[in-house]
Structure 1
Amino acid sequence: MRIAIVGGGLGGLTLARILHRNGIDAVVYEREASRSARSQGGSLDLHPESGQKALAEAGLAGRFRAEARPEGEEHRILDPAGRTLVHHRPRPGSFSGRPEIDRSALRDLLLDSLPRDAVAWQHRLVAATPRPHAGFKLTFDGSRSADCDVLIGADGARSVVRPLLTDAALSSVATLVELTISDADRRHPDLAELVGPGNLWCVGVNQILAAQRLGDGSIRVGISLPPDDRHPGAYRSKRALLDMFDGWAPNLTALIEAADGPPIPRRIEAMPTGSRWAHQPGITLIGDAAHLMPPVGEGANQAMLDAAELAAELVSNPTDPDSAIRRYEEAMFSRTHPIAEMSARVQAMMLSPTAADDIVRFFTPRPTEPAPAD
């Protein structure tokens, strides 16, 4: 059984690792030239019931704990004047919650766990064609090709594999502008103290200025805005961004001024909630290719859990991959539907006119109700 995994992100690599750990070979086809070809983004919090569970299935829980930063769970929410609305402090050294880990560190951890030839770098898929009897022919940029019996699309939001299963259209849900402040402790100690070891959200009307501490000492700044039709060039200067935050506290807008290099804007998209497809033999999707959601903390976790659940089915049914895929898909559709609905609600709440009040209520623990009297 020749298994092809298209996409070397967290989901694809987790799937390959668990399969290899159980004696099933799979090749990951990745369009990037090497693991260091581009930045992997900021950090993420791995949830015990999904991302951490998948790493345990991969036999990598110990390595994860060595790389993770439980202090990164600290989370502060401020208003535009710089007043603290919410301040969550995790228990020092505790891994019982959702510890943060840099995406690059997590990806390296997974890559290091695989045989060297498990990832075919610089293989950008341009077409996948069903073969006459079963399986698929894969055509890559540069006229290279390969055959497989099972094709798994783990190739993200712009999946090349997805159209073989569904014509679900993506819709814009936000505009995100990213900046980076390197060596923050030395170059900008005041901003390092403001952000702290975890995440900072500054919430205004229809806009959020966020900052996140990474393990290398840098700060990743993200500006979230409602979706619009403006050309990305409208967000490519710091001056234009500062004008959007006119009137905000200077120590907050300093996060924009201190950034290295120009801002990087991108459109955030999502698939329709409840998207699914009719099962087809020998092919399926995981992660953003299967259920692209607004980025509110579930995407990577669900992608890794997809990988663990699909791997478990394939390991249990090595001679009947079609039945394994069918069972995986039905379980995945049921699991991700409510999560996608929740993610859409949170995304809309974060960029609403009443976002500050809504977010404070969302993150404020409800008081425990008294036990009923006997």
Structure 2
Amino acid sequence: MSQAFELPVLIVGGGLVGLTLAQALQKAGIACIVYERDYALETEHGGGWAITVHWALEALRECLPSNLFQRLDDIQVDREQGIKDTGRFLFLDMATGKPKYEVPPSPRKRVNRRLLRNLLGEGIDIRFNKRLKSFEIKDDKTVMVRFEDSSSVCGSLLIGCDGSNSKVRHLLFGDRPEEARLYRLPVRAMGATVRMTENQILPLRRIDPLLFQGCHPETGIFLWYSTISTPALNGSEGRSEPYYEGQLIISWKYVSCSDEVPTGNMDRIRKLRSMVSQFEESLRVAVENVSEDTEIKEIRLQDWPTRPWLNHGGLVTLAGDSGHAMTMYRGEAFNHGVTDVASLLKQLVRVRDGSESLQSAVPAYDTELLARTHEAVLLSRQACIDAHDPDNLSSDSPLVSKRARILVSAKEVSEDAVDTGGHEHRRGSKV
């Protein structure tokens, strides 16, 4: 083992990417510790809905122990459908319920996010209730991390996997805080987990058993639906009242303060119902049937087009949403996060084997991430804008075009990074 890893790698953030990274490092024999701000992997504010792994499936296979990767099949939102899934992804005209576009298919697994997090956390050293306060470079091979509870720890490398509003990212930009801030898009959104009987969910599963999206041609109101669990997954199979769970998201353009998300839950339900009043009947009824005790969550649509950060001689870097926060409209955030892990792992294995130093390996990783994700964030931003603009939506929009890993040169990224805070961007939308 290289002397570079005499101290453990410190991962701040126990989300999906942080835990994937921990599994990958552990698989490679590199010691690591995950520091998570919450008190457990499962908390009362939930673990999210469901997630699609598509073009990063092979990268995920590389990162995980084989037994964990094989168990992904067990946490698919609908395992039976997953076996015969064609990978198709429909974009509907919400006035008619008919497909308008079909996103080019690709192999995928649609998995329950909460169960995925639990799976990725197996066998990992996770320290809970740890909120990052600061870090300090002690020497050319040691970084000290301090937490809000006054404790501290030294490591060989600090990796921020602490989400879109990353504390690590903000610390890296130091006296330039505006460069680390998220940009909020002129779109508002609400989402809910909806429990349904087989009869209630049947019209939606006839459209697609896993997921679909679309917008209304006149109002521009966007709807996303996906299955979160079937009776076989949620344990209600064989009971007197088996149920399915679905994820509903409604989003719309923000023009004035009247377009803000209401504060009260009942007001949010009323707004959801009013927004789908012109939808095709089965789609409208699905939203109208949302029970009044269902929690409706506001979804803040924000992003951060990746820009270069100071890696302190290869001792600090970012991965996942910390390094490329993006909207949900291309479903690529976790796929890029997994690719981050695979890319970083490749570099750190070289360090482990003594053929590379952290001082060269981490900058090489940063360069690859920047070239790949800056453009990806902007494509997701454009997809969000296009989702609510049916008059200008076309087949080459990043909303409905093929999902794929793309790279642009570092020079192009540097030129774009100066002017992406509040501007729409369409370059390279054909992917």
Q: Output the TM-score relative to the length of structure 2.
A: 0.73
Deviates more, 1:165-174 or 1:285-294: 165-174
What stretches of structure 1 move > 6 A for 4+ residues in a row?
Answer: 359-362
For residues 92-123 of structure 1, the C-alpha deviation after alignment (integer angstroms, 9 at most, x for no partner) is: xxxx61231222232222112x34xx111222
Aligned-CA RMSD value:
2.9
1:301 partnered with 2:311: no
Q: Report deviation, 1:175.
A: 2.1
- Kept in 1: contact 2:8–2:30 (CA 8 A): no
The DSSP-based 3-state class of the residue aligned with 1:36 is: coil
Q: Check if 1:198 corresponds to 2:174.
A: no
Q: 1:8 aligns with which of 4, 11, 14?
A: 14
8 Å CA contact 2:188–2:254 kept in 1: the answer is yes
Structure 1 unmatched runs, 5+:
366-374
Contact preservation (8 Å) 2:72, 2:116: yes
How far apart are residue 315 of structure 1 and its match?
1.6
Deviation at 1:364, TM superposition (A): 8.3
- Aligned partner of 1:275 in structure 2 is 307
Counterpart amino acid of 1:268? Answer: L
The structural deviation recorded for 1:219 is 0.5
Task: Tell me whether 1:223 sits opposite 2:250 in the alignment.
Answer: yes
Alignment CA distance shift 1:121-1:195 (3 Å):
farther
Match of 1:177 in 2: 190
* Alignment match, 1:62: 70
Query: Any idea what SS the aligned residue of 1:181 has?
Result: strand
**In the TM superposition, what are the counterparts of 1:1-374 in structure 2 within 5 Å?**
1-37=7-43, 38-48=45-55, 50-60=56-66, 61-68=69-76, 69=79, 70=82, 71=85, 73-86=87-100, 97-112=107-122, 114-115=123-124, 118-125=125-132, 127-133=133-139, 135-166=142-173, 167=177, 168=179, 169-173=181-185, 174-185=187-198, 188-194=200-206, 196-204=208-216, 205-216=219-230, 217-227=244-254, 231-233=260-262, 236=265, 237-260=268-291, 261-272=294-305, 274-281=306-313, 282-295=315-328, 296-318=330-352, 320-354=357-391, 363=400
Work out the CA distance in 1 between the residues paired with 2:366 and 2:334: 18
In structure 1, how many angstroms separate the alpha carbons of the residues matched to 2:337 and 2:201? 36
Return 5+ residue gaps in structure 2 as ranges. Answer: 1-6, 231-243, 403-431
- Quote the offset at 1:64 in angstroms: 2.5
Pairwise CA distance, 1:198: 1.0
Higher mean displacement: 256-265 or 204-213: 256-265
Contact 2:86 2:107 (C-alpha < 8 Å) held by counterparts: no
- For residues 159 and 314 of structure 1, the distance between their equivalents in structure 2, rounded to whole angstroms, comes to 22
SS state of the match for residue 107, structure 2?
Answer: coil
Amino acid corresponding to residue 112 of structure 2 in structure 1: D
* DSSP-derived class of the 2:323 partner: helix
Q: Which amino acid aligns with 1:56?
A: E
Taking the aligned partners of 2:380 and 2:374, their CA distance within structure 1 comes to 10
Amino acid at match of 1:334: A
Going from structure 1 to structure 2, the CA distance change for 1:265 and 1:58 (only over 3 Å counts) comes to same
In 2, Cα distance between the equivalents of 1:362 and 1:142?
43
TM-score by length of 1: 0.84
User: Which string of whole-angstrom CA distances, capped at 9 and with x for unpartnered residues, describes residues 275-312 of structure 1?
Assistant: 22244221000011011122221100101110121122
Q: Deviations over 1:52-95 (max 9, x none)?
A: 3123332343223444453384533332323312476999xxxx
Cα distance change of structure 1 residues 88 and 357 upon mapping to structure 2, 3 Å threshold: closer
CA offset at residue 6 of structure 1?
0.6
- SS of residue matched to 1:339: helix
Partners of 1:203 and 1:355 within 8 A in 2: no
Q: Distance in 1 between matches of 2:371 and 2:101?
A: 34
Instruction: Provide closer, same or farther for how the CA distance between residues 146 and 98 of structure 1 changes in structure 2, counting only shifts above 3 A.
Output: same
Q: Deviations over 1:163-213 (max 9, x none)?
A: 222342211123220112124426x24455455411122312432122111
**Is the CA contact (8 Å cut-off) linking 1:206 and 1:352 kept in structure 2?**
yes
Q: Contact between 1:139 and 1:146, CA under 8 Å: does it hold in 2?
A: yes
Alpha-carbon separation, structure 2, partners of 1:144 and 1:264 = 34
- Change in CA separation of 1:78 and 1:56 when aligned onto 2, cut-off 3 Å: same
Q: How far has the Cα of 1:248 moved from its partner? A: 2.5
Match of 1:201, as an amino acid? Q
Judging changes above 3 Å, is the alpha-carbon distance between structure 1 residues 21 and 361 closer, same or farther for their aligned structure 2 residues? closer
- In 1, the alpha carbon distance for the partners of 2:392 and 2:269 equals 24
2:159, 2:318 within 8 Å by CA — same for their partners in 1? Answer: yes
Name the SS of the counterpart of 1:8 in structure 2.
coil
SS at match of 2:301: strand
- Structure 2 CA distance for partners of 1:176 and 1:329, relative to 1, 3 Å: same
Aligned length: 354
CA contact (8 A) 1:74 1:90 kept: yes
Instruction: Quote how far apart the aligned CAs of 1:145 are.
Output: 3.0
